[in-house]
Amino acid sequence: MKANRGIHHILSLVVKLYRRLLQKRSRTLLPWTEFRPFTDFIVVHPFVGVTPGENNVLQTTIGEDSGGFSTDEGLEPVPGELLDCNENWPPALGIYWIRIESKAACNGKTKSGYFDYIGQSRNLNPNARRETLGIFRRIQAHYLKILRLPQRNEFWRPGDPRREELAQQHFENYSEFRDFFRDESGNLSYTGTETFNTAFELLTEHHDLDTHGQVKAFFKENVSLRFLNLTEDAEGADVLSRLQNVCLPEFQCNVNKAEAIALKAYKCLYNESPYLNTQPNPTDHSPKEYKKYTENFKGANGLKSTMNKALKIIFILSSILFLVSAFGVLWINLR
């Protein structure tokens, strides 16, 4: 009886050790979120005419939408989701992964079968509106690149007569709007990036991206997002201290490191860099750091792996204890 009680006590200690192992893992690992549709995180409004864009000095008409160019290019964080800075403060900073699923990415264009982009957001702009800080601001810029639309700083300077000419236009769709920016040679006056420009040409062979309805449907059905939110790793007992910590050089260094490791993990997974990235960071890091930032990178459940390891430990210890107790009972009987 005493032997059985001793075994029961030791097994209880093993279970407690197992639970602590899981708790420690949940505190130290930074899991990637699963891919979810773009529109789960961001509302896609028309490119022009959305309040308070009506007060914008730049105005035009595209389809049924007329007025100033929409605030934040027509994008708005979904309330209560990760990119909602009013709900989550400090805002989400770290690594984001944009995935475009389309036949355009197949046919030997990519080994992964997707147009992917992995990027980072690590700085808080003190001059920007709180609602648009963090990862949301970076995704906003890529939204325009995907649609081959100009960013606000690529419009003409105040006083340029083409601004007034733009205001008088009534474009049937985004295609006509883009054509307005072409020079005599047919080239767009704004640049974009080579990879995004090529992807747009390929995408438009399979998808119509000319009206707001088509764009909204495309981002709902074909574009998805996932995140490695490093703000969750920022220490601090209150909001102010956590906000101060995400502004430290050490935190920004961790974001740089995480991006480099994510790009390296992607290349190991698909034997190529993300199609939409231009200059992947080749920085190398130790296996321990690598594992911290790539947890669930493939979408696997890292916790399940930990539980299996812990259960194996419990099984081995339990077997050893059983054998020891069995030999103990046998030895007592032989005496």
- DSSP codes joined into one string, 211-274: SHHHHHHHHHHTEEEEEEEGGGG---SSHHHHHHHHTSHHHHHHHHHHHHHHHHHHHHHHSS--
Report pLDDT for 27.
Answer: 47
Residues 113 and 167 in one domain: yes
Residues 171 and 309 in one domain: no
CB atoms closer than 10 angstroms to residue 26: 11
Is 60 exceeded by the pLDDT of residue 284? no
High-pLDDT (> 70) share of the chain, %: 70
Q: Which of 128-142, 204-218, 293-307 has the lowest mean pLDDT?
A: 293-307
Report pLDDT for 198.
Answer: 92
Phi, psi (deg, nearest 5) at residue 33: -75, 165
High-pLDDT (> 90) share of the chain, %: 39
Confidence at 50, pLDDT banded by 50, 70, 90: confident
Measured CA angle at 234 (ends 228, 236), to 5 deg: 155
Residues 216 and 265 in one domain: yes
Residues 19 and 78 in one domain: no
Confidence at 81, pLDDT banded by 50, 70, 90: very high
Residues 311 and 213 in one domain: no
Rounded Cα distance, 10 and 3, in Å: 11
Which residue, 294, 309, 325, sits at the end of a domain? 294
- Would you say 100 and 115 are in contact if contact means Cβ atoms under 8 Å apart? yes
Residues 148 and 131 in one domain: yes
Q: Give the residue numbers spanning the domain of 20.
A: 1-29+301-335
Residues 37 and 24 in one domain: no
Supply the pTM of this predicted model. 0.76
Q: What is the mean pLDDT of residues 194-219?
A: 94
Residues 189 and 312 in one domain: no
Higher pLDDT, 159 or 120: 120
Confidence at 201, pLDDT banded by 50, 70, 90: very high
Residues 179 and 255 in one domain: yes
Cis omega (within 30 of 0) for bond into 52: yes
Residues 268 and 311 in one domain: no
* Lookup result for tokens 């001793």: 6
Is 50 exceeded by the pLDDT of residue 110? yes
Give the total number of structural domains in the chain: 2
Residues 116 and 10 in one domain: no
Q: What is the mean pLDDT of residues 271-295?
A: 66
Q: Tokens at residue 48, please? A: 């022009």
Q: How far is CA 83 from CA 105, 107, 132, 312, 313, in A?
A: 27, 34, 8, 39, 40
Q: What is the mean pLDDT of residues 20-24?
A: 51
Residues 330 and 203 in one domain: no
Q: For all residues of the chain together, what is the average pLDDT?
A: 79
Is 90 exceeded by the pLDDT of residue 176? yes
Rounded Cα distance, 237 and 278, in Å: 39
Q: Which of 47-61, 78-92, 100-114, 304-318 has the lowest mean pLDDT?
A: 304-318
